[in-house]
Amino acid sequence: MTPTHTLPTDLLLRPVAADDLDALQGLAAAAGPGIGSLREDRVGLGRRIEESLQAFAAEDEDTSGEERYLFVLQASGSESGSGSGSGLAPGRLLGCAGIAARSGYGSRFYSYRNEFIVASSAALGLTQRTHTLHLCHDLTGSSLLTSFYIVPGAPAAAAQLLSRARLLFLALHPQRFSDRIVAEFPGLLDADGASPFWDAIGRRFFGMDYPQAEALAGGRSKAFIAHLMPQSPLYVPLLPEAAQSAIGQLHPDGELPFQILIDEGFDADSYIDIFDGGPTAEGRLQALASVRAARPLAQLATQPNLACTRDRAGFRARLVAAGDAAADLGPQPLATPLQLPESV
Amino acid sequence: MKPTFQIVQTTVAPPEAPPAHEPGGWWLCAQASDGRLLGALHGLPEQGRSRARCSFHFGRVVHSAPELGLYQVQTTLQLGHDATGEAELSGLFLSAAAEAPEAVADALLQAALARLADADTPASWVIAELPGWRDAAGCSPFWDGLVRHFLPPGSLDAADAAQRHGPAFSSHLGEMLPRELIHAAFLSPAAQQALGRCADSHTTWLSALQRAGFADWRHGRIEDGGPLLAAPRRAGERRR
């Protein structure tokens, strides 16, 4: 359990603002190419901020599923309750995380689905189980957790706040989102930065390097790439061993956010990314640990919590020490335990 | 000099020839004047009546993204039973002692096609399978690049299994192989080069079949990728 006396209660999660552009660009530069939804492209980031401002401001009846929300984690410099400060300079952005209301909006969201087929011949006395990958649109329309990045060395609880506050936001505004939540994670790269999965599959049909293709997809729908991919199942045994080994394997950069979602109850065995074979995690919102444990803060006051406001446009979330009423989070903040029980 | 042999029809398989792919039908034997067997083949008016006859169809799919200026033509393999109901020539044999093997093969094919043209069968085509290419060690790159991946490791020796099960081996093997489209690009380069490539041991038959009007049917044998060739069945009438 995270001790109360080290709880960085001065970290504030809030919607991105127009004047965050410089800081956001700095985060994107530090994030590197592994996070396809957070590219160091000032024009693109500016557009991303504008989209997020519109999404948070939109009334429920004006939403279509196209909305993309972006949150930032900021050192506020003002310690709250009985917690402690992070020691970080006030105003500094420590990270960001997003939500796309509906994946593949207006198009299709492609994944490979892991399946197994069993062949048998009585005459030969043989049975063989074969791993296959099926190009599919199963996750189209799911709500997508995107753009997670937190600066190295940030307090562990900060990553929990940055990732899981999104789940509380989803729970507070279910009419805007799917109850099926999905998150893609970067796949394994070799020592040269090449993706063995891409080299074995995508390159054969797409004729370019993985970073080039991912950059194109970052600015456009992935669907256009799928036009060049085989529509029939891929038989995994036909792939080179390096590609087979990369299926569902996580790039080290993704370990922290991946583990947070796995601890929430996400499943990461069914789908993989069509670019690099990285795992795609999915879960049902109401089954996620943070959502199942969510209560009014007053009911969870004896432990450190992650708490948030209930309003949309002025959404705020922070870590709250035991006994802290978090008056700054408005009436009846929604909270979930920072340390989730083994079985909620 | 005109070859001196005669074509004899029989229902008994000559022991020198490889087995017919299915029972029924008839054998044609080219016999020298001294009775030696110079060549043989088996004719079947309609294949697939006794067992599932599997082959890979070699097709093409186009992967296109006009907005990127990308356009790719990919070769594909689709397991199926496309030759079912067609007539077939199998048991192809030419004696190493035949002085003019091309003439023997030509005569056998001409006689077989004439008989099949008259046969009471719904077949539109006459199909002939040829064994696939093998390397100097006798290994099939097609087997190594595709087939073996769908069998338990080390479970089956292709030559032994073919010996044990005879022609039905390919039907049993078909039960183990993928039913969905396979992109040839996922096969090893050697396996890709073996698609529809005839074994060196059968080039005389390949040439004879082509002279007789057979053409690539864009199908391959499932065990070694050897070509299936086809000729219109009724075209045989013109040759009589």
Q: Check if the beta carbon of residue B177 is closer than 8 Å to that of residue A119.
A: yes
So what's the pLDDT on residue A108?
84
Q: Which of A275, A313, A302 is nearest to A54 (CA)?
A: A313
The helices-and-strands tally (H runs, E runs) of chain A is: 10, 14
Rounded to 5 degrees, what are φ and ψ at A203? -60, -35
Mean pLDDT of the A225-247 span: 91
Q: Which of B136, B149, B146, B129 is nearest to B220 (CA)?
A: B129
Give the model confidence (pLDDT) of A277-323 as tens digits: 999 999 999 999 999 999 999 999 899 999 999 999 999 999 999 99
Q: Across the interface, do A205 and B63 touch by the CB < 8 Å criterion?
A: yes
Mean pLDDT of the A215-233 span: 72
Predicted confidence band of residue A87 (pLDDT cuts 50, 70, 90): low
- Note the ipTM here: 0.89
Q: Identify which of B150, B181, B185 has the shortest CB distance to residue A237.
A: B150
Mean pLDDT of the B174-192 span: 96
DSSP symbol at A216: H
pLDDT: which is higher, A53 or A33: A53
Mean pLDDT of the A228-234 span: 88
Q: What is the DSSP string of B174-211?
A: HTTS--S-EEGGGS-HHHHHTTTPBPGGGHHHHHHHHH
Evaluate if residue A79 carries a pLDDT over 70. Answer: no
Contact list, A130 vs chain B (CB under 8 Å): 150, 178
Q: Calculate how close chain B gets to A127, using CA atoms only, in Å.
A: 7
Q: CA-to-CA distance for B127 and B219, rounded, in angstroms? A: 10
Task: Count contacts between A and B (CB, < 8 Å).
Answer: 86
Evaluate if residue A253 carries a pLDDT over 80. Answer: yes
Give the lowest-confidence range in A11-15, A169-173, A323-327, B196-200: A323-327
Mean pLDDT of the A240-258 span: 94
Quick count: other Cβ atoms within 10 Å of Cβ A61? 6
Contact list, A128 vs chain B (CB under 8 Å): 150-152, 176
So what's the pLDDT on residue A34?
64
So what's the pLDDT on residue B3?
63
Q: Check if the beta carbon of residue A233 is closer than 8 Å to that of residue A52.
A: no
So what's the pLDDT on residue A344?
47
What six digits make up the tokens of A140? 């189209």
pLDDT: which is higher, A2 or B2: B2
Strands (E), chain A: 11-15, 68-75, 93-100, 111-121, 126-136, 143-150, 180-184, 234-235, 267-272, 279-284, 295-296, 305-308, 317-320, 334-337
Distances (CA, A) of A282 to A218, A285, B198: 21, 9, 49
Contact list, A234 vs chain B (CB under 8 Å): 186
Evaluate if residue A35 carries a pLDDT over 90. Answer: no
Determine whether A131 is an active site residue. Answer: no
Q: Calculate how close chain B gets to A240, using CA atoms only, in Å.
A: 9
Evaluate if residue B7 carries a pLDDT over 90. Answer: yes
Contact list, B180 vs chain A (CB under 8 Å): 132, 232-233, 235
Evaluate if residue A47 carries a pLDDT over 50. Answer: yes
Q: Find the closest chain B residue to A240 by CA distance.
A: B186
Mean pLDDT of the A83-109 span: 84
Of all residues in chain A, the percent with pLDDT exceeding 90 is 70
Are β-strands A234-235 and A93-100 bridged in parallel, bridged antiparallel, or unpaired?
A: unpaired
Q: Which helix (H) or strand (E) holds A264?
A: helix A255-264
Q: Check if the beta carbon of residue B21 is closer than 8 Å to that of residue B28.
A: no
Touching B: A residues 78-117, CB under 8 Å: 117
Mean pLDDT of the A261-281 span: 96
Question: For all residues of chain A together, what is the average pLDDT?
Answer: 89
What six digits make up the tokens of A31? 């994030």
Q: CA-to-CA distance for B163 and B151, rounded, in angstroms? A: 18
Predicted confidence band of residue A217 (pLDDT cuts 50, 70, 90): low
In this structure, which amino acid lies at residue B147? V
pLDDT: which is higher, B3 or A18: A18
Going across the sheet that includes B37-44, the strands are B5-10, B26-32, B37-44, B87-94, B125-129, B227-232, B215-220, B55-65, B70-80, B182-183
Of all residues in chain B, the percent with pLDDT exceeding 70 is 97
Evaluate if residue A6 carries a pLDDT over 80. Answer: no
Give the model confidence (pLDDT) of B125-170 as tens digits: 999 999 999 999 999 999 999 999 999 998 888 889 999 999 999 9
Mean pLDDT of the B212-221 span: 98
So what's the pLDDT on residue A1?
42
Evaluate if residue B238 carries a pLDDT over 80. Answer: no
Give the model confidence (pLDDT) of B46-96 as tens digits: 999 999 999 999 999 988 777 777 788 999 999 999 999 999 999 999 999
Q: Which helix (H) or strand (E) holds A206?
A: helix A202-206
Of all residues in chain B, the percent with pLDDT exceeding 90 is 88
Mean pLDDT of the B189-203 span: 97
Residue position matching structure tokens 């805007």:
A176
pLDDT: which is higher, A213 or A94: A94
